[in-house]
């Protein structure tokens, strides 16, 4: 696709350009396998001597078209789709880390990723040090070790809504010859493209805004192609022969595509977390309207945040669009078009008031989800963090009255009326 097109145009056209007589809509190649005329032809595919489809666990044309669109939206050289955001963040790390290695990650990340890096990777011999993303660079320096292989953070963290100083993190990572991986799920490439600020790899839970309708669970990993694996000298998996692929050296054979090619040929081959072509088709439909929806999510969230911030029954509101928010300035720099539709706030009266308030909502639905067309709400103390004591909640920075509110794309007056009637029940 023409690199000069604006993001709205890329969302519609990137990834699939039909030739004469081909379907205008991206077709769903619902096939596990692909046919060849000679044994020799197929052999060359297995040797990675030629590119071509042979088995959907490795590559599928529908999936590839959507991956190419997402790579184009982020301004990257290549992308791979995974069956979930969790799989994307797992692959992004283990593609360049193994037992004995170390990761530096922000504490302000999705609970699932916190567990993945802090507990599950630890069982595989990969250690993770969690750092406060707002700490000064000199403080963050101390987390690095000789075996550190990557730095990980989220553009806008779920659920704490911390906005990342991407340049600060990229500078730190690069001074230690390791890549910065940014989970860009909440911002989406419409509102922020981390590669433009120095990030090297971007991941997504496409389950959220990219799909936008809560229809499929999926993930993506995108490579900027900018990180020099050879120069860094720390990534033998990319720069020395792969015995499981006839001794090819990914950086030599694939250049800027090395990271994604290694992920496809080793991790997809061995672990197999592919999305179905049907799900990729649904994701692609969502991507077509992403810029329209993000604009509406952000303007609605801004109105809701302003309404709540001025309400006497509300303790505080977290939303970087509010001028008084701790992350307002950093959001203005990295996300000038808006942040996202997710806000968090606390009603006065703690846990019980929060429960009464949520149960009184009529339009907003109680679901374990965020970032789709429908307004939804969650009370971490009663739901996602239910097993924690009040003290443990406090230690995790979650007050018992905290409410996570994902503003949808309904008419904002209807969302505010719903909040109004629920607040009047307190
Ligand atoms: C939801 C989410 C994930 C996990 O994605 P799944 O698609 O649910 O596996 C990872 N990162 C962020 C920021 C998320 O919001």
User: If pLDDT is split at 50, 70 and 90, which confidence band does 398 have?
Assistant: confident
From the CB of 211, is ligand 1 less than 6 Å away? no
Helix, coil or strand: residue 225? coil
> Which residue minimizes the CA distance to atom 5 of ligand 1?
85
- Whether the CB-CB separation of 187 and 335 falls below 8 Å is answered with yes
User: Distance from the CA of 211 to the center of ligand 1, in angstroms?
Assistant: 12
So what's the pLDDT on residue 356?
A: 96
So what's the pLDDT on residue 45?
A: 83
> Which residue minimizes the CA distance to atom 15 of ligand 1?
158
DSSP string, 362-406: SSSEE-S--SSSS-EEE-TTTTTTTTS-HHHHHHTT--TTEEEEE
Q: What is the pTM of this model?
A: 0.96
User: Distance from the CA of 208 to the center of ligand 1, in angstroms?
Assistant: 8
Q: Which residue has the tokens 């590839």?
A: 64
Rounded to the nearest 10 degrees, the angle between the axes of helix 290-309 and helix 412-424 is 30
From the CB of 85, is ligand 1 less than 6 Å away? yes
**Choice among 31-35, 97-101, 392-396, 402-406 with the minimum mean pLDDT:** 392-396
- pLDDT, tens digit, for every residue of 343-389? 999 999 999 999 999 999 999 999 888 999 999 999 988 888 887 78
Burial of 236 (0-12, 13-18, 19+ CB in 10 A): exposed
User: Distance from the CA of 156 to the center of ligand 1, in angstroms?
Assistant: 12
So what's the pLDDT on residue 423?
A: 97
User: If pLDDT is split at 50, 70 and 90, which confidence band does 2 have?
Assistant: low
- Whether the CB-CB separation of 169 and 151 falls below 8 Å is answered with yes
User: If pLDDT is split at 50, 70 and 90, which confidence band does 392 have?
Assistant: confident
> Which residue minimizes the CA distance to atom 4 of ligand 1?
85
Mean pLDDT computed over 180-196? 98
- pLDDT, tens digit, for every residue of 408-421? 999 999 999 999 99
So what's the pLDDT on residue 62?
A: 98
User: If pLDDT is split at 50, 70 and 90, which confidence band does 197 have?
Assistant: very high
Please report, rounded to a whole number, the percentage of residues in the chain having pLDDT higher than 90. 88
User: Distance from the CA of 303 to the center of ligand 1, in angstroms?
Assistant: 26
Q: Give bridge partners of residue 32 from the DSSP assignment.
A: none
Instruction: Answer yes or no: is pLDDT of 20 > 60.
Output: yes
From the CB of 217, is ligand 1 less than 6 Å away? yes
From the CB of 187, is ligand 1 less than 6 Å away? no
Instruction: Give the mean pLDDT of the chain.
Output: 95
Question: What are the counts of helices (DSSP H) followed by strands (DSSP E) for the chain?
Answer: 20, 12
Task: Give the residue, out of 88, 110, 116, 155, with the most ligand 1 atoms within 8 A of its beta carbon, to mutate for a pocket test.
Answer: 110
Mean pLDDT computed over 111-123? 95
List, in order of start, the domains of the chain with CATH numbers: 7-286 (3.40.640.10), 291-423 (3.90.1150.10)
Rounded CA-CA distance 163/335 in Å is: 9
So what's the pLDDT on residue 369?
A: 86
């Amino acid at each position: 696709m023409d690199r000069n097109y604006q993001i709205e145009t890329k969302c519609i056209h990137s990834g699939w350009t039909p030739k004469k007589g081909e379907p205008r809509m991206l077709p769903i190649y619902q096939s596990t396998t692909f046919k060849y005329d000679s044994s020799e032809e197929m052999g060359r595919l297995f040797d990675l001597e030629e590119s071509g489809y042979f088995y959907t666990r490795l590559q599928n044309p529908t999936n590839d078209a959507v991956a190419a669109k997402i790579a184009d939206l982020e301004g990257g050289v290549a992308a791979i789709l995974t069956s979930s955001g969790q799989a994307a963040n797992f692959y992004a790390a283990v593609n360049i880390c193994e037992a004995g290695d170390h990761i530096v990650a922000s504490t302000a990340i999705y609970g699932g990723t916190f567990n993945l890096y802090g507990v599950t990777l630890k069982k595989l011999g990969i250690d993770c040090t969690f750092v406060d993303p707002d700490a000064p660079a000199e403080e963050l320096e101390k987390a690095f070790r000789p075996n550190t292989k990557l730095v990980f953070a989220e553009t806008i963290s779920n659920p704490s809504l911390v906005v990342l100083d991407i340049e600060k993190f990229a500078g730190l990572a690069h001074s230690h010859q390791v890549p910065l991986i940014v989970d860009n799920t909440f911002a989406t490439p419409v509102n922020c493209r981390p590669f433009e600020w120095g990030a090297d790899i971007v991941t997504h839970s496409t389950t959220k805004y990219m799909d936008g309708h809560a229809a499929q669970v999926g993930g993506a990993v995108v490579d900027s192609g900018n990180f020099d694996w050879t120069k860094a000298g720390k990534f033998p998996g990319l720069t020395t022969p792969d015995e499981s692929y006839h001794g090819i050296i990914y950086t030599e054979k694939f250049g800027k595509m090395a990271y994604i090619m290694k992920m496809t040929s080793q991790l997809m081959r061995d672990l197999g977390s592919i999305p179905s072509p049907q799900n990729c088709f649904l994701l692609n439909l969502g991507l077509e309207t992403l810029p329209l929806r993000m604009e509406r999510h952000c303007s609605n969230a801004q109105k809701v945040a302003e309404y709540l911030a001025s309400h006497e029954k509300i303790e505080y509101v977290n939303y970087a669009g509010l001028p008084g928010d701790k992350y307002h300035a950093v959001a203005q720099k990295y996300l000038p078009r808006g942040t996202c539709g997710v806000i968090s706030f606390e009603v006065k009266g703690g846990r019980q008031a929060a429960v009464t308030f949520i149960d009184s909502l009529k339009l907003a639905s109680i679901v374990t989800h965020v970032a789709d067309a429908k307004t939804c709400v969650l009370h971490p103390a009663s739901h996602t963090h239910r097993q924690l004591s009040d003290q443990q909640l406090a230690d995790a920075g979650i007050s018992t009255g905290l409410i996570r509110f994902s503003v949808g794309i309904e008419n904002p007056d209807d969302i505010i009326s719903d909040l109004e009637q629920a607040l009047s029940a307190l």
